[in-house]
C-alpha cells in the first residue's frame, strides 16, 4: 500500500510538471513576433548616430543570417504568412528607411552577393539629393530581384498631425511616383518616424498597400497587424553577434515592450 501511494504521488508530481512545462512553452510561443529588422545608414558614423551601422558589422550580420540558414523574405512576402499565422522557422525580413545612398554602395553589394532579400523605403522628394539614392540606383536594385522598393511618403512628415489632404497626398502620391519610375506596383509602406493613428492607417489601406511597418507601437498594440508591423532597430549595440542573435529570436520585442514605457 505504501509503495502504491508513493508511486501515485510521483505520477501526480510528474503530471503537474508536464502541465507547467507545456503551459510555459505555449505562453512563450504566444509572445513570438516575427522579426523585422530596420536599418537606416550603413556608414562609419555609428559612434555618433543610433541610425548608423558600420559596414563591417552589417556584413557580419548578413553573413550570420546566411550561415545560420535564416529564411530571409521580402516584406510583402511576409503578408501572406501573417494572414495564415504561419511562419517558417527562422523567418526574418530586412528593411531600410529613408533611402540613403549608402544603402546602394554599402548594403546592396553584400545582400546581392549573399543572395538575401530586403526592402528599402524611399522618399521620392529626396531622390537625387545629396546623400540619397538616385533613381538609377533605385531602378537597378529593384530590377536585381533582391531589393523591393517601398514608400516612405513623399516628403517624410509626421503624418498624425498633418491635414487630411496632406496625409492623402503623402501616402498616395509617393506610391504613384515610385511606380512611374519602376513600372511596378508598390505594396509596402513605412510610416515616417513610426508615426501613425487609426485614420492614417486606414488611408494606407485605402491607397492599396499590402503591408505597412511602424517602429514601436507598444505592447498594447497587436503584434501582427498587417498595417502596423513592429520592427527592431539595429544599431551599434548589435555589433556583438550574440546581441544581434538575441534581438532576432522573435521574443526580443516582448522583452523590449515590457522593459520600456509606452
> What CATH number has the domain bearing residue 51?
3.20.20.370
DSSP-assigned beta bridge partners for residue 42: 53
Whether residue 142 sits in one domain with residue 42: yes
Q: Which three cell numbers stand for residue 255?
A: 522583452
Whether residue 232 sits in one domain with residue 161: yes
Q: What is the pLDDT of residue 13?
A: 65
Whether residue 96 sits in one domain with residue 179: yes
Q: What is the pLDDT of residue 23?
A: 46
Whether residue 50 sits in one domain with residue 24: no
Q: What is the pTM of this model?
A: 0.87
What is the C-alpha separation between 44 and 203, in angstroms, rounded? Answer: 37
Residue with cell 503624418: 159
Whether residue 137 sits in one domain with residue 74: yes
Closest of 225, 219, 227 to residue 256, by C-alpha? 219
Q: Give the domain extent around 12.
A: 1-30
Q: Are 152 and 194 in contact (CB under 8 A)?
A: no
Q: What is the pLDDT of residue 179?
A: 97
Cα-only R_g, the chain: 21
Q: Are 97 and 36 in contact (CB under 8 A)?
A: no
Q: What is the pLDDT of residue 27?
A: 42
Whether residue 87 sits in one domain with residue 151: yes
Q: What is the pLDDT of residue 16?
A: 61
What is the C-alpha separation between 141 and 124, in angstroms, rounded? Answer: 15
Whether residue 7 sits in one domain with residue 99: no
Closest of 96, 95, 88 to residue 34, by C-alpha? 88
Whether residue 136 sits in one domain with residue 16: no
Whether residue 117 sits in one domain with residue 7: no
Whether residue 145 sits in one domain with residue 39: yes
Q: Are 239 and 57 in contact (CB under 8 A)?
A: yes
Whether residue 114 sits in one domain with residue 126: yes
What is the C-alpha separation between 43 and 35, in angstroms, rounded? Answer: 23
163 φ, ψ to 5°?
-60, 155
The per-residue pLDDT string of the chain (262 residues; one tens digit each, 9 = 90 and over) reads 544 566 656 656 665 655 554 444 344 455 688 999 999 999 999 888 889 999 999 999 999 999 999 999 999 899 889 888 888 889 999 999 999 999 999 999 999 999 999 999 999 999 999 999 999 999 999 999 999 999 999 999 999 999 999 999 999 999 999 999 999 999 999 999 999 999 999 999 999 999 999 987 776 777 789 999 999 999 998 999 999 999 999 887 867 766 665 5
How many domains, the chain? Answer: 2
18 φ, ψ to 5°?
-65, -40
Q: What is the pLDDT of residue 261?
A: 57
Whether residue 70 sits in one domain with residue 25: no
What is the C-alpha separation between 3 and 21, in angstroms, rounded? Answer: 27
What is the C-alpha separation between 104 and 109, in angstroms, rounded? Answer: 7
Amino acid at each position: 500500500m505504501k509503495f502504491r501511494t508513493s508511486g501515485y504521488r510521483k505520477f501526480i508530481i510528474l503530471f503537474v510538471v508536464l502541465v507547467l512545462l507545456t503551459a510555459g512553452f505555449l505562453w512563450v510561443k504566444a509572445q513570438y513576433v516575427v522579426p523585422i529588422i530596420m536599418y537606416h545608414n550603413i556608414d562609419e558614423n555609428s559612434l555618433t548616430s543610433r541610425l548608423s551601422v558600420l559596414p563591417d558589422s552589417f556584413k557580419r550580420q548578413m553573413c550570420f543570417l546566411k550561415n545560420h540558414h535564416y529564411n530571409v523574405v521580402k516584406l510583402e512576402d511576409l503578408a501572406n504568412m501573417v494572414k495564415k499565422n504561419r511562419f517558417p522557422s527562422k523567418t526574418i525580413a530586412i528593411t531600410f528607411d529613408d533611402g540613403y545612398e549608402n544603402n546602394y554602395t554599402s548594403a546592396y553589394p553584400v545582400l546581392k552577393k549573399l543572395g538575401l532579400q530586403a526592402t528599402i523605403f524611399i522618399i521620392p522628394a529626396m531622390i537625387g539629393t545629396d546623400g540619397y539614392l538616385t533613381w538609377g540606383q533605385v531602378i537597378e536594385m529593384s530590377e536585381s530581384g533582391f531589393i523591393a522598393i517601398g514608400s516612405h511618403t513623399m516628403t517624410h512628415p509626421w503624418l498624425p498631425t498633418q491635414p487630411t489632404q496632406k496625409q492623402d497626398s503623402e501616402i498616395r502620391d509617393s506610391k504613384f511616383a515610385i511606380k512611374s519610375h519602376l513600372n511596378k506596383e508598390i505594396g509596402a509602406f513605412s510610416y515616417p518616424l513610426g508615426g501613425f493613428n487609426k485614420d492614417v492607417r486606414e488611408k494606407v489601406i485605402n491607397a492599396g498597400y499590402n503591408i505597412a511597418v511602424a517602429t514601436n507601437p507598444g505592447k498594447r498594440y497587436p503584434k501582427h497587424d498587417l498595417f502596423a508591423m513592429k520592427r527592431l532597430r539595429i544599431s551599434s549595440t548589435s555589433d556583438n553577434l550574440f546581441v544581434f542573435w538575441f534581438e532576432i529570436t522573435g521574443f526580443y520585442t516582448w522583452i523590449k515592450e515590457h522593459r520600456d514605457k509606452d
